[in-house]
Each structure stands twice: as C-alpha cells, then as structure tokens.
Amino acid sequence: MTGAVIVGASLGGLRVAEGLRAAGYEDRIRLVGAETHRPYDRPPLSKDILTGGKEPSDIIFRSDEELTAKGIELVVETSALGLDVANRRVQTTAGDLEFEDLVVATGARARQLPGSEDLDGVHTIRTLDDAESIRESLRRGSRVVVVGAGFIGAEVAGAARALGLEVTVVEAMDHPLERAVGREAGAACASLHIENGTTLICGVGVDRLTGDDAVQSVVLADGRQLDADLVVVGIGVQPNVEWLDGSGVDISNGVLCDERLGAAPGIYAVGDIARWANPRYGETMRIEHWTTTVEQAAVVAHNVANPGSPRECDAIPYFWSDQYGHRIQFAGRATEAELVEIGCRPDVAAYLALYRRGDTFVGALAIDGTVALMQLRGRLMSGADDFEEVREFAESLGGSNA
C-alpha cells in the first residue's frame, strides 16, 4: 500500500493529512518534514513566543498519540531531495518513498539580507528555532533594528517594544505594508509604530551591516548609521522548490497548479508554495497566509480522497496580524484598488476601510474591528460586490453616518 505522501510537515501538510482521514481515505498517509519538531503553528513565533506569552510546547499542533490515532505516520528530520514523477517516488534523506498521491507542502523560507549570513546577531524568523534564538537576544536587552515593516517585521518590533527595548524599523517603501494594503492603510499602520515608541524610517533601503563577528550597526542607503545588537530581517520569503528541480513540475515562483491545486496527475500543492489558478479572480496567485493554507488543504484532501468529483479552490485572501496589542485584518485584494475610509465609532473599529475597483467592492481592512471585518469578508465570499451597497452596509455597522 503506497498511499499518500505529503512532503512538508507544517500547517498545510498536517491539514491535508487530517482532511484525508476526515474524508474517509483509508490508505497509508506519510507526513514527511525536514524539521526536528512535530508540526507547530507559525503565527505565534513573531508574537507570543517572543514576549514569553507562549512557550514552544503551546504551539505544537498535535501530540504523537493524536497523530497515531488518526493513522498519520509522521517522519521528522527528513528532507525530500528529488521527485521522480514517472516512477511515483520521492527521494529523501531517509531513502525513497513510493506514492500514489503526492502533496507538496514545503512552504517557504525567509529571505536573507545579502552579505549578512555570517554575522552573529542577525536573524530571520521562520522556524521555532529562529524565534527561540531571537527571544534569547531580546532577553539580553538589545538595541533592535528590524529591516522590513511587513507583517512579520512589525510584529517583531511590537514584541520588542512590549519588552521595553529600543526599536528602529527600516522600510524601503514609503509606508509599512504598502504593497499589501496600499499607501493610505499603510499610513494607518505606521501610526501604530509611532504611537508605541518605535522609530520608523521609511523610504530608504539598507546599504550594509557592519561588525566583525557580531553585528554592530545597520548603514542605510542615505548614509545614516543605526547602532544595533540585534537585527531582525523581514524582507519576504522564497518558496522551497529546489527539491523539485528537474522533475518536470513548473517551479517558477512556487509550484504552478491548476484550479484544483493539481500540479500533475496525482500531484498537488498547498500553502505558501502553491501558485494556483484561482477561478474567482481568473489569475494565478501565491498567497502566504494561514487561512488560505487551511482552505487549500481542505480542497486538496477532498480531491485526493474523491478523484471522481474534484473541487476548485476559489479562496479569498485573508490575513490577520497582531501589532502592539492591535489586530489588523484584511480580506480581498488591494492591487490596483482605491481605498475608501469609513469613519467609524471606536467600539466598531479603530480604523475601517473598503477597497473598490470602479464600482466593484474588492476588499476590506480593519484595525480592531473583527466583527465588522468578518461581515465584510462574508460579503466578499457571497459575491456581493456592488460597492455602494457594501459601503452603506459598512456604515450601518457603525460608520460616521450611523
């Protein structure tokens, strides 16, 4: 019995394995991962793990007993090295594994700042081991420079401020999160940094880091020099596709998949690595969000268990981010969209904005407005896209005209 092999033992891989059992799949399931840990949740890595609000044991998804009870064979500390599609085999550091169905869930790794690889005190944050070593440095009371004001950089800055440390965030764009949520909402996110005592420097890149063994400073492109004992780099990720090189699977910017998340017959991808044809938008996209990974895993589990009645994945991108005690949530797409702020009562949201493309409602962003955002996300899911109608609805939730 060859069954299913799932490569990548994290959120996406685990959810596919569990979804397969829930769908009545009875064959063997092997969940193969490179890390030493059992599958764990990554969002707390840049939040509660850094502040000490959570311990590593709190973020492990399942015990060995729970996995065994579901008949999921977890193979840790094992990396996939290659894929032989014709002979249905994955080459791994622990030998070859035969499969009938293969799920690629190898996610992504953090991009490094070129030239910083050998300097002590310079970190990226993707794994539990990364987070634990940043936590150790934060405990020593460092001067912290965060490179990149994306979600993860902003969360690390917030955690370091919560511990009372001196923090500077450097962002090459004019506003934090500009690419994800646009300029205006990026400016609203900037105020969270400033109100919480973080020094925010936008519109300038990093030229180089100085230091012999350990980092001493960050030199900006405009010549400014920031003293630092700890530098956390949050400048995006690279999909872990190298092991698929030469297999025939298209690995340009992730694993290219069709609407059903299929990359080749009986081969699927989920999570941060999947670049799939989203039928809702008529374009391919690779989304690096927790909820999208879970939604994709449900589709892949269904499609492996029920090959005769496959489903498409039409997920609407959604993410949350916790910064300085505030929750930012976004649903939809901000690309080429115009932002319309909804003046809001503070009990509804500290900040609420809708995004329109012409007359079409395409997205919503809230700070501390979970109920409003979830209702607007529901509107997107139901296909209600008349902008004026949605604006009226949003205002009825507690906007300036309520």
Ligand X SMILES: Cc1cc2nc3c(=O)[nH]c(=O)nc-3n(C[C@H](O)[C@H](O)[C@H](O)COP(=O)(O)OP(=O)(O)OC[C@H]3O[C@@H](n4cnc5c(N)ncnc54)[C@H](O)[C@@H]3O)c2cc1C
- Which residues contact ligand X (rule: CB under 6 A)? 7-13, 32-35, 42-43, 45-46, 79-80, 105-108, 125-126, 152, 240, 243, 271-273, 288-291, 293, 319-321
Long-range (24+ apart) CB contacts under 8 A made by 382-385 are 385/360, 385/361
Give the span between the Cα atoms of 352 and 344, in whole angstroms. Answer: 7
**Residues 93, 272, 106: CA angle, nearest 5 degrees:** 5
Q: Least distance from C-beta 308 to ligand X, angstroms? A: 27
Please state whether beta strands 318-323 and 326-332 pair in parallel, antiparallel, or not at all (unpaired). Answer: antiparallel
Q: 41: left (phi > 0), else alpha (psi -120 to 50), else beta?
A: beta
Give whichever of 215 and 237 is closer to ligand X, judged by the CB atom: 237
Question: Whole-number minimum distance, CB 24 to ligand X, in Å?
Answer: 23
Smallest distance from the beta carbon of 129 to ligand X, in angstroms?
10
CA distance 60 to 42: 10
Residue partners of 321: CB distance under 8 A and separation at least 6: 151, 154, 155, 327, 328, 329
Q: Which of 259, 236, 240, 265 is nearest to 251 (CA)?
A: 240
Of 331 and 353, the one with the shorter C-beta distance to ligand X is: 331
By Cβ distance, which residue is nearest to ligand X? 271
Concatenating the DSSP letter of every residue in 125-159 gives -SSHHHHHHHHHHHHTT--EEEE--SHHHHHHHHH
Closest distance between ligand X and the C-beta of residue 135, in Å? 12
Helix 370-382 × helix 387-396 angle, to 10° = 150
Spatial distance between the Cα atoms of 166 and 317, rounded to a whole number of angstroms:
34
91's enclosing H/E stretch is: strand 89-92
Could you tell me the smallest distance in angstroms from the CB atom of residue 232 to ligand X? 10
Which one, 8 or 363, has the nearer CB to ligand X? 8
Sign of the C-alpha dihedral, residues 114, 217, 167, 127?
positive
Closest distance between ligand X and the C-beta of residue 133, in Å?
13
Query: Of 36 and 360, which has the nearer Cβ to ligand X?
Result: 36
Min CB(33)–ligand X separation in Å: 5
Q: Tokens representing 348?
A: 């509804």
Nearest approach in angstroms of CB 42 to ligand X is 3
Q: Are 17 and 62 in contact (CB under 8 A)?
A: no
Which lies closer to ligand X via its Cβ, residue 2 or residue 79?
A: 79
CB closer to ligand X, 79 vs 210:
79
- 273 or 300: whose CB is closer to ligand X? 273
6 vs 220 by CB, closer to ligand X = 6
State the helix-helix crossing angle for 290-305 and 11-22, rounded to 10 degrees. 40
Classify residue 87 by burial, with Cβ atoms within 10 Å: 0-12, 13-18, 19+.
exposed
Minimum CB distance to ligand X smaller for 3 or for 317: 317
Q: How far is the CB of 309 from ligand X (least distance, A)?
A: 25
